Structure 1
């Protein structure tokens, strides 16, 4: 067992705890069972969930037992947003999403392999629909609701911000009762004495602690604890985990492995060391060395490459990460484009300026393709790029101003890669 608190503090992850000294003692006497909840409000987790997922994984690696709770019950309501009511999803949709999220979480935590006896630190996958669905409204109001003060609930920041605006439904107002009862059930059923979450969840988590005290008197498993993590921000002021295309998902059907890799590879130099601490399992010495390389040779992007490779491997596997790296190298003339499979090439070209053509006919001038993809502002600029030796078609230098791309040049029967200079890449997708 290692001192996980020191680890979280060094990595800049730890935000709040209820009683740090008591928590340190409990963890030293461990193993401790802890949990974090993930509501299925979409069909996939996204990179914004990674801080919590990896925090569970860090506790497991430090010798503790994590519970990943997927909210099949609470997901039918959704944690209240500060701005407006959530749209309610159908029960069938939520049930399907529960299954997807559970599968994604298995990539990060060690669950008991089929046919083996469980180890003390093997993770548990729980679904709060298992107890919330069997609870009657009378039980909820009588056994849980009586322990909540309306005055305190009205002082919650999310509630106050909503009441100052368009208001809040009773459904969302009562969400805290359901999440608090989750902690009670996990405390009773699994001896879970620690809940983790983002710092915006502090109110929900401490409400669960108080409910355990009121319903069970902190027996038989002793005092329960809360731990929250810092919310991640970007140095440029934009929201972490968002791109022009929206959220960066863990599902490869929603965010391709290539786009996922590029998200991390494009991390700002001002953020990359912080991200390595939060999202990587690399040691302090390794991160310090990457920080030094970033400061001395920022153009090499060693830290960004290390971050992108580690997370893409963790989420999508070694084989997909290798394909992504090969595609990145091939687009910039450092590997063979013909070696890329169609899906990987398509995903890579989706991340660069691209043009779509109905066909090539007898051939389309390369200068036209450079202009169509936006790599140059005009055909005259494209001609200058050819004359200067800076124009490429499928990584082959174009020296003839009249050169054309024909069907014989198509990769997988529908792709062309054009490039201006070493770093400006564009794609052409040919329909027929």
Structure 2
């Protein structure tokens, strides 16, 4: 199927093949690429993922600038022809999107430039496939090994239960279009789960048209033990409000790790409250909430607006003890208030700096504490309060807070804007690593 499309439409179509997260990562320079695997946009390595985002952004800029020329009548000199094809490569269907550029005045339609983007897709609406050929889950060693057809080396990941939870989530998103066939070997304590695309019967397993998505070999658990294993896994509901969201992988991983509650309704775009933020930080850094009792009640007397009966009281008390969040200086914590991006910066800069504040404070002639006015590299620097600018610049230098791109290659931090739950979780998990 071929259609003539504008540059913006063509690149928009390419962009939908992989979700791109907001930039909070290190300064990575993108390059123009004519062949790109868009699966890299979901790579588990932040560095690989950000590089792919940058390459895609740079390529889009190149196309918009290079082929925007118009003739004397105001007509576009170049035309874009987009072609979508689907091929099965190593048992996985790949969508191949080709963008060909030619001159409008060339009747032969001679190609001037060409860009090819590839992404894994089993079929429309299937969801995310398991991007491996064989997975071996060994609970005796608590590790997972992958055998991929694109690599000669095995990849072993520690933490079998967490990894199997991720695999189950990926499969459950396409459960209505997949079949799992289980085989158990009691003698060798071995369970095999073979996952196939589509609804098939056991007699169709060896059909030439059958696509095998993954083989999950579970060592050390069979029968009743395998059922007991279910209680140890985290089953993230695939029918959720963050499916396809740019932060989906981070949210799922955080639910599996226990950083946020395992629920189908995460509200990723909802602005996060100070109490919710405090809990996320505590869970990410394994800071245990303090349980109230008569012997430690003084720890709960720091803020007049935090009742010991509230769910967040123990987290507020714990995070106050660490010095990461100290309230507003007026004896209140404002737990239900939204938290601004500059408030987040102060907490996370301190967290990244091993619990030591990065603020630079001196005293004036009257002995009052005065913050040093640190110049940041954001175009809206004047909007950043003096008590937060050291923290904002610290995170920027470390590559955790690049901000929002504006014209001329500049960035805004937007310090007084409130932060969404997805943004907060992303920054917390990246700073906490």
Which of the pair is proportionally richer in strand? 2
Q: Which TM-score band (shorter chain)?
A: under 0.3
Q: TM-score when scaled to structure 1?
A: 0.28
Which of the pair is proportionally richer in helix? 1
Q: Quick one: higher RCO (CA 8 Å, sep 6+), 1 or 2?
A: 1
